[in-house]
């Protein structure tokens, strides 16, 4: 599963779908302030209440490295059925 933000230059990939031993190391958690009890999160990386300036700097740096382009997702076909039937 992934999210393609139509006007964005990033794709979210869910870690459980990565092949074993290929997931990049976790660097930070964002939006932990939305959790009912963020104190239950481990302290192995920063648990940020929202997006940090560092997060946005890294996001923009990645976009610059991509030549201000966004990835073309042309290999996903079909319609997402959220009816639960």
Do residues 43 and 28 lie in contact, with contact meaning Cβ atoms separated by under 8 Å?
no
Q: Answer with the residue of higher pLDDT: 2 or 30.
A: 30
Q: Distance between CA 3 and CA 45 in Å, rounded?
A: 24
Q: Distance between CA 2 and CA 5 in Å, rounded?
A: 10
Pairing between strand 2-4 and 11-13?
antiparallel
pTM of the predicted structure, to 2 decimals = 0.50
DSSP alpha helices (H): ranges in the chain? 53-65
Model confidence pLDDT, tens digit, residues 55-80: 788 888 888 888 887 767 676 677 66
- Three-class secondary structure of residue 71 per DSSP: coil
């Amino acid at each position: 599963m992934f999210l393609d933000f139509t006007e964005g230059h990033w794709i979210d990939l869910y870690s459980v779908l990565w092949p074993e031993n290929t997931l990049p190391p976790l660097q930070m958690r964002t939006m932990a302030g939305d959790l009912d009890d963020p104190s239950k999160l481990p302290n192995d990386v920063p648990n940020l209440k929202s997006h940090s300036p560092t997060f946005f700097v890294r996001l923009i740096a990645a976009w610059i490295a991509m030549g201000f382009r966004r990835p073309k997702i042309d290999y996903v076909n079909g319609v997402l059925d959220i009816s639960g039937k």
